[in-house]
Amino acid sequence: MDLNAYRIMWVMVFFDLPTETKKEKRAYTDFRKALLKDGFQMFQFSIYVRHCSSRENMKVHIRRVKAALPEKGLVGIMAITDRQFEEIEVFDCRAEKKAAPLPQQLELFF
């Protein structure tokens, strides 16, 4: 058993935000841009994921997501281990599709 697979974490953010008005569209765009700026990548529409090297690092990114929450809408945050993430099955209609590998992120600390 690889202990790293249980130490390395993935943060998944899934959201359903209103986009009826200009203000709501702006809030949606700002939230999405905040996720991208923090290193999240689109997994599916309105589902973004980020690789975290540790549980401590995961907590930092969850705090950043919470700080960027829009006024309206539904946002979910889920943390899973690397081992759990690799068990995700992705289908394109009825055909099983291999999930596109997300690039490893290099984290530099100054």
For 18-50, the pLDDT digits (tens) are 999 999 999 999 999 999 999 999 999 999 999
Give pTM, 2 decimals: 0.81
For the chain, give the percent of residues with pLDDT over 70.
85
Question: What does the block give as tokens for 97?
Answer: 């599709």
Burial (CB < 10 A; 0-12, 13-18, 19+), residue 104, is exposed
Report the chain's terminal Cα–Cα distance, integer Å. 33
* Residue 52, C-beta contacts closer than 8 angstroms, at least 6 positions apart: 8, 9, 10, 11, 58, 61
Question: What does the block give as tokens for 24?
Answer: 């709501």
Domains, the chain, ordered by start: 4-97 (3.30.70.240)
